[in-house]
Structure 1
């Protein structure tokens, strides 16, 4: 049923879907107190409260563009995306060291893998959805030529390490909350967030450079600009320093288009089995939320 609905919605143009999405964003924002509270808390903590109204609309557009991105003809989808600074990635590929592409929940992050796979082989870390009904939709939608999905487990990590050793590209969402044992507490917009350590480990292991990427959503459904940005932070030696350096890079990237960040994402939740950070006061609501 859900697959059929998404395929039906994919018929509509991007401007139509984004127009509907803007209204949907406000509907969800007004209807859900927990959603509204988390969005407000996260965007205010980051210092972008002035962008709240725009962020509400962009969140709705984020949802309504998924049928188009996932289910429309790939050539039709790629026609909406312009790529800038690809030479950063190509230089890394030419050096045969591989490249680690870090993509936060900023803009239309779902289109980035397609844009990259149209140019080179990409292995992307993938965490199966909790709801079984979503699995065939998401896995089928993300299946593309030149795009390999690596599960978020030891087997997937090995797959990504092998891709890097071959000089290929891999993709990670560094602001996705990892599971127990896969992260450390590191500051993100001033508050400890459980942060994955995998990208820094792979960089240390293989020497593959880190490159940031995001897809800016253009106004009025005009498409997207997929941008690649050099990673300029100093990683440091221990896992916490490395995680904080990557979070700092994410903060700078988000500051470019703060309204398009997914502020309702529960970035500060405490994963099951992970002790709360001892250096901060964690709210009751956050402490109750588990993966």
Structure 2
């Protein structure tokens, strides 16, 4: 399987996206559970058919582009809002990047590492290794690159993030990812309560880091990606539930900018799993 991944990594990005578009539609048609969840989430968010239709194929592209991003040649990346990154790094208090399941969230960390990770400050991202041994090797090799570090989804990993921020470095999180039991609170997400992580809030409260919103737009015809960065214009309340609601609202604003690239099939409203191991 690793050899197959390597072969895919050599394909043009446009070809991978074409395969991904087909894959996305095959899964949408074949899996009733996935399709119902996809449609229910889009309906919950008030999306019209014209808003979410393209997201079926885009979800497949998310999977098909991974071999190229993990093992292949660098892809073209444009920036929108790089000045916010540079201003945040200049403050020296650390930067917390919040990225929803929108577009290509893999590219945001890679693009930061390439542009800032070696010349300014590295980025650390939370990482839970895949269960498959061959995939675990591939992903770990991809995530450990110059300017990009990983932290395990454990208490020691959280301490690693805090240490990085106190050194003025950057960390990256997916705040709309359902955390383990005991590591989140219920907060509204598109009008429905969802178990929402509080880690981003606690990191900011403990370090005074700057919060930036970021997502990687997938450009048409395999032309690459555009990384969008914007500040969080409102201060996070000290109350965790209120702060989680602010983060969710910020993620919603990003998603409605480009609903065609949101991962509507993600089980955002699922019950949290058991608490992560803290050793």
TM range, smaller chain: over 0.9
How far 1:137 moved relative to its partner?
2.0
How far 1:164 moved relative to its partner?
0.7
Which SS does the other structure have where 2:187 is aligned? strand
Over 4 Å off, 4+ runs: none
What is aligned with 1:18?
A: 17
What is aligned with 1:242?
A: 243
- Paired with 2:85 and 2:175, the residues of 1 have a C-alpha distance of 18
Q: Indicate conservation of the 8 Å contact 1:123/1:163, yes or no.
A: yes
Q: Deviations over 1:21-60 (max 9, x none)?
A: 1111111111111111111111111112322320101111
TM-score, length basis structure 1: 0.89
Relative contact order (alpha carbons < 8 A, sep ≥ 6): 1 or 2 greater? 2
- Paired with 1:110 and 1:272, the residues of 2 have a C-alpha distance of 23
Alignment of 1:265 onto 2:261? no
- Paired with 1:255 and 1:268, the residues of 2 have a C-alpha distance of 18
Tell me, which stretches of 5 or more residues in structure 1 are unaligned?
275-291
- Paired with 2:214 and 2:90, the residues of 1 have a C-alpha distance of 19
- Paired with 1:129 and 1:240, the residues of 2 have a C-alpha distance of 30
Counting only pairs closer than 5 Å after superposition, residues 86-101 of structure 1 correspond to structure 2 as 86-101=82-97
Q: Indicate conservation of the 8 Å contact 1:233/1:249, yes or no.
A: no
- Paired with 2:38 and 2:86, the residues of 1 have a C-alpha distance of 36
Which SS does the other structure have where 2:257 is aligned? coil
TM-score, length basis structure 2: 0.93
Counting only pairs closer than 5 Å after superposition, residues 71-150 of structure 1 correspond to structure 2 as 71-73=71-73, 76-77=74-75, 80-118=76-114, 119-120=116-117, 121-150=122-151
What is aligned with 1:194?
A: 195
Which SS does the other structure have where 1:272 is aligned? coil
Q: Deviations over 1:129-148 (max 9, x none)?
A: 24444311221222211111
- Paired with 1:151 and 1:19, the residues of 2 have a C-alpha distance of 33
**Root mean square deviation of aligned Cα:** 1.3
What is aligned with 1:279?
A: none
